Amino acid sequence: VHACIPCLCKWFRAAGEESELCLQWIMTHEEHHAAKTLGIGKAIAVLTSGGDAQGKEKALRGRGGGTKIMAGGRSGGYQGLVDGGDHHQGGSWGLTSTSSPQGGTVIGSARCKDFRDREGRLRAAHNLVKRGITNLCVIGGDGSLTGADTFRSEWSDLLSDLQKAGKITEEEATKSSYLNIVGLVGSIDNDFCGTDMTIGTDSALHRIIEIVDAITTTAQSHQRTFVLEVMGRHCGYLALVTSLSCGADWVFIPECPPDDDWEEHLCRRLSETRTRGSRLNIIIVAEGAIDKNGKPITSEDIKNLVVKRLGYDTRVTVLGHVQRGGTPSAFDRILGSRMGVEAVMALLEGTPDTPACVVSLSGNQAVRLPLMECVQVTKDVTKAMNDRRFDEAMKLRGRSFMNNWEVYKLLAHVRPPVTKGSTHTVAVMNVGAPAAGMNAAVRSTVRIGLIQGNRVLVVHDGFEGLAKGQIEEAGWSYVGGWTGQGGSKLGTKRTLPKKSFEQISANITKFNIQGLVIIGGFEAYTGGLELMEGRKLFDELCIPFVVIPATVSNNVPGSDFSVGADTALNTICTTCDRIKQSAAGTKRRVFIIETMGGYCGYLATMAGLAAGADAAYIFEEPFTIRDLQANVEHLVQKMRTTVKRGLVLRNEKCNENYTTDFIFNLYSEEGKGIFDSRKNVLGHMQQGGSPTPFDRNFATKMGAKAMNWMSGKIKESYRNGRIFANTPDSGCVLGMRKRALVFQPVTELKDQTDFEHRIPKEQWWLKLRPILKILAKYEIDLDTSEHAHLEHISRKRSGETSI
């Protein structure tokens, strides 16, 4: 049993055991042994280059802690690589063990002139060879990654020159005969083609939205117009998503300059907004904004235009470098960790024939793309804009960017019809517990419905309100300012429709409801299933409906993400950061934190990954008293080193016997003399607060896509002068599945649902649990059987809609 796996495999083969079972055993254990020994004897160098971005720390942590190999840090980016000496730090666990809440990068970042010259790259190669490093991980923007690929392409020639100059031996040259490079895009601009989000972008959006929300209150008080300039260089992503997330009146981005008569159009738009009762105007300007002739459009130009033509009290705010700073968001922390682990796997699996790749995000999937393909497409965008081929530049930015732009144009530039005689009547409602982002989804749904010429009704208090007739018509201004508001403005209840079919049917007839958009959590999903069953008894229920998942628990089958979950995660992370900080200067301390989620462990797991938890107890991964004992002993060992803080998360329903109090008492007793313990139950604060930029943007696009689907489905179901929809695909959940937003019939999702515990039977995030344990310094195996394979950017861009 204790023999070496290869020896056992060799013995089996020598013995002539060729049975299928034996061969499976051999293959399984050889793969296991290969995974266990993948990193032995290899060294990885990590550098951060270019502008700093929040979340780079987590990418470093995902590398430094994820393998049993030497991880080298480079102080000052490529400059540290060139200079060598004290600028080379041996990567240790302690270097990144407390870096989760920090922005910037502990190993320094810089733009390096020396590396642009061959002499500088020669010195860098010499430093790597002398340290036996043949794997390089570069975290930076397109310039940094282009430099990395140039370095790799010259590697053989650089070694030859070094050997000729007598600086390295033939043996050293042979050992370092090839250089593997993997890139990670760390940039707040999100200007690198091939990835939906770069590390740091979401955190920058957090900083921007915090300021926009603060400015909104003062703008309303004084009836002012604010022009806000955001970063992004020649990419308008930050400006575009900010405009969607705050409901801005106008956005200027370099990829799509405004029409020649934009001044008149802008002024008309602002005055129409005031006429409808709004007390403020918000205009977002990307720093690289231009007109169709390439002339810069500055925030001062826009201010002067508004003051001269409309006489509005107008202010300019240039946000500047505040967008680069601050604490990384939960999204960036998790993204950095996931991408860091994937980058390590890509390096360890690399061969001399493996092209340099970049690890990127496509929807919810980590993918590997050829580095230079991405760099080339990024350069093609710049060239297209320089050549005034703006439509092509938009397409090259990718589907995510295009989707954002299309939704923005609909909500900001298309005038709602002023004539009566609506095409169809669609009702919108919230069901279940409140979640941040619900209001943004309602706003988007209502306004897209109005733009399409529909009559849109809003239902108060969920299915109960639908039964009682708590229904009213919503106009354009009804949902004004809803994007950034938390909770549910319509009111929401957990009541299911089954007991009120008769009253609901009567009100569907009374208000001539022809379609239903249900925004909510697990109750919205089960309510949809009940409506499908009710169609057998009531023809009035034979209308199309779509469920938009919105719950902090993220437990709706058919979707990887739910509206509201990101806001809850950020609340938990911020609270954990503050709780750990509260113990600064005291003796060693462990915090036990209880999170919400019902039986779903999404919040506990992802918050644990983002906040750097030592353990996260969840229902989906059963644990025993022995597991608890092992966790306590592990934490005791860590606390005997330089570690002074411990964090343990517990999902509220992970185990009926091992309660939060039980775990707190266990840690308190076993940690006596080494650390003391504190507990915190976060409670309903996880459901409150303003929605994050991710939830606002996600909800807005989900609402728009749901209403577009609804309009098509109503037309499809029109028969004999009435709507009659009784097919399975007329009642769907709109969900994010890996790389695409897809509509799935609720009846098809029944088999994928654990109704007793209100969770999907399979959940994608469970595969991230080993990363959490590895980063907490547990000795466990990482499943390497499922990982990203090298794709091509052209194939990725031809895929389905991503977020």
CB atoms < 10 A from the CB of 739, how many? 21
Grade residue 71 by pLDDT with cuts at 50, 70 and 90. very low
Amino acid type, 99: S
**pLDDT tens digit sequence for 460-508:** 999 999 999 999 999 998 999 999 999 999 999 999 999 999 999 999 9
Neighbouring-strand partners of residue 651: 595
Residue owning tokens 């939060």 = 660
At residue 417, the pLDDT reads: 66
Neighbouring-strand partners of residue 732: 546, 745
**pLDDT tens digit sequence for 40-54:** 667 888 888 765 555
DSSP 459: E
Pick the closest to residue 774 from 611, 599, 593, 614 (CA basis): 614
Cα–Cα dist 736/754, whole Å: 19
Between strands 455-459 and 759-760, the pairing is: unpaired
At residue 99, the pLDDT reads: 46
At residue 52, the pLDDT reads: 53
Pick the closest to residue 173 from 162, 182, 189 (CA basis): 162
Grade residue 362 by pLDDT with cuts at 50, 70 and 90. confident
pTM over 0.85: yes
Q: Is the separation of the CB atoms in 95 and 73 below 8 Å? A: yes
Ranges 351-365, 656-670, 706-720: which has the least confidence: 351-365
At residue 422, the pLDDT reads: 61
Cα–Cα dist 46/181, whole Å: 10
pLDDT above 70 for 444? yes
Which contacts qualify for 531-538: CB closer than 8 Å, 24 or more apart?
531/497, 531/731, 532/728, 532/731, 532/746, 532/747, 533/498, 534/497, 534/498, 534/501, 535/726, 537/501, 538/501, 538/502, 538/505
Q: Which residues belong to the annotated binding site?
A: 51, 111-112, 141-144, 187-189, 224, 231-233, 287, 315, 321-324, 494, 551-555, 589, 596-598, 652, 678, 684-687, 758
Residue owning tokens 């508004």 = 306
DSSP 493: B
At residue 36, the pLDDT reads: 55
Cα–Cα dist 173/176, whole Å: 5
Cα–Cα dist 349/422, whole Å: 59
Which contacts qualify for 274-279: CB closer than 8 Å, 24 or more apart?
276/476, 276/477, 276/480, 277/477, 277/480, 278/477, 278/480, 278/481, 279/219, 279/220, 279/223
Grade residue 83 by pLDDT with cuts at 50, 70 and 90. confident
Q: Under DSSP, is residue 703 helix (H, G, I), strand (E, B) or coil?
A: helix
Give the mean pLDDT of 301-316.
Answer: 95
At residue 690, the pLDDT reads: 95
The two three-digit tokens of residue 665, written as one number: 């008492």
Q: Which residues belong to the annotated binding site for ATP?
A: 51, 111-112, 141-144
Q: Give helix 299-310 / helix 262-275 axis angle, nearest 10°.
A: 60
Between strands 365-370 and 357-362, the pairing is: antiparallel
Q: Under DSSP, is residue 277 helix (H, G, I), strand (E, B) or coil?
A: coil
Q: Is the separation of the CB atoms in 724 and 717 below 8 Å? A: yes
Grade residue 141 by pLDDT with cuts at 50, 70 and 90. confident
Q: Is the separation of the CB atoms in 288 and 232 below 8 Å? A: yes
Q: Under DSSP, is residue 258 helix (H, G, I), strand (E, B) or coil?
A: coil
Q: Under DSSP, is residue 409 helix (H, G, I), strand (E, B) or coil?
A: helix
pLDDT above 60 for 548? yes
Cα–Cα dist 94/71, whole Å: 12
* Catalytic residue chosen out of the listed positions 52, 149, 189, 560: 189
Residue owning tokens 């994937």 = 342
Q: Is the separation of the CB atoms in 528 and 541 below 8 Å? A: no
Give the mean pLDDT of 592-608.
Answer: 97
Amino acid type, 45: A
At residue 543, the pLDDT reads: 97
Cα–Cα dist 19/517, whole Å: 57
Give the mean pLDDT of 411-437.
Answer: 83
Neighbouring-strand partners of residue 227: 283, 316
Q: Is the separation of the CB atoms in 141 and 187 below 8 Å? A: yes
Cα–Cα dist 654/649, whole Å: 11
Cα–Cα dist 469/11, whole Å: 76
Q: Is the separation of the CB atoms in 619 and 757 below 8 Å? A: yes
Cα–Cα dist 1/429, whole Å: 61
pLDDT > 90 fraction of the chain, expressed in percent and rounded: 66
At residue 76, the pLDDT reads: 63
Cα–Cα dist 542/536, whole Å: 9
Pick the closest to residue 707 from 738, 734, 735 (CA basis): 734
At residue 15, the pLDDT reads: 41
Cα–Cα dist 366/368, whole Å: 7
Q: Under DSSP, is residue 12 helix (H, G, I), strand (E, B) or coil?
A: helix
- Which residues have C-beta within 8 Å of that of residue 376, sequence separation ≥ 6? none
At residue 784, the pLDDT reads: 59
Q: Is the separation of the CB atoms in 282 and 248 below 8 Å? A: yes
Amino acid type, 547: V
- Look up 391 and say whether it is catalytic: no
pLDDT > 70 fraction of the chain, expressed in percent and rounded: 84
Q: Under DSSP, is residue 5 helix (H, G, I), strand (E, B) or coil?
A: helix
At residue 63, the pLDDT reads: 46
CB atoms < 10 A from the CB of 177, how many? 12
DSSP conformation letters of 323-344: GT-SPPPHHHHHHHHHHHHHHH
**Residue 112 vs residues 57, 83, 147, 207, 228: alpha-carbon distances, Å:** 20, 11, 10, 28, 31
- Which residues have C-beta within 8 Å of that of residue 3, sequence separation ≥ 6? none
What is the residue-averaged pLDDT of the chain? 86
**For residues 212-229, b (16+ Cβ closer than 10 Å) or e, as one string?**
beebbeebeeeebbbbbb
Residue owning tokens 């989707």 = 403
Task: Outline where DSSP puts E strands in 18-101.
Answer: 43-49, 70-74, 88-91
Task: Outline where DSSP puts E strands in 186-296.
Answer: 225-230, 250-252, 281-286
pLDDT above 90 for 38? no
Cα angle for residues 615, 609, 587 (degrees, 5° grid):
55
pLDDT above 90 for 419? no
Cα angle for residues 705, 707, 708 (degrees, 5° grid):
65
**pLDDT tens digit sequence for 735-782:** 999 888 999 999 999 999 999 999 999 999 999 999 999 888 887 776
pLDDT above 80 for 87? no
Q: Which residues belong to the annotated binding site for beta-D-fructose 2,6-bisphosphate?
A: 494, 551-555, 589, 596-598, 652, 678, 684-687, 758
Q: Which residues belong to the annotated binding site for substrate?
A: 187-189, 224, 231-233, 287, 315, 321-324
Pick the closest to residue 50 from 169, 152, 138, 162 (CA basis): 138
The two three-digit tokens of residue 565, written as one number: 């979950």
**pLDDT tens digit sequence for 614-657:** 999 999 999 999 999 999 999 999 888 888 889 999 999 999 99
At residue 589, the pLDDT reads: 92
Q: Is the separation of the CB atoms in 652 and 596 below 8 Å? A: yes
Amino acid type, 576: C
Q: Is the separation of the CB atoms in 84 and 101 below 8 Å? A: no
Cα–Cα dist 477/663, whole Å: 51
Domains of the chain from N-terminus onward: 4-37 (no CATH), 43-197+328-381 (3.40.50.450), 201-323 (3.40.50.460), 416-563+691-764 (3.40.50.450), 565-687 (3.40.50.460)
Q: Under DSSP, is residue 614 helix (H, G, I), strand (E, B) or coil?
A: coil
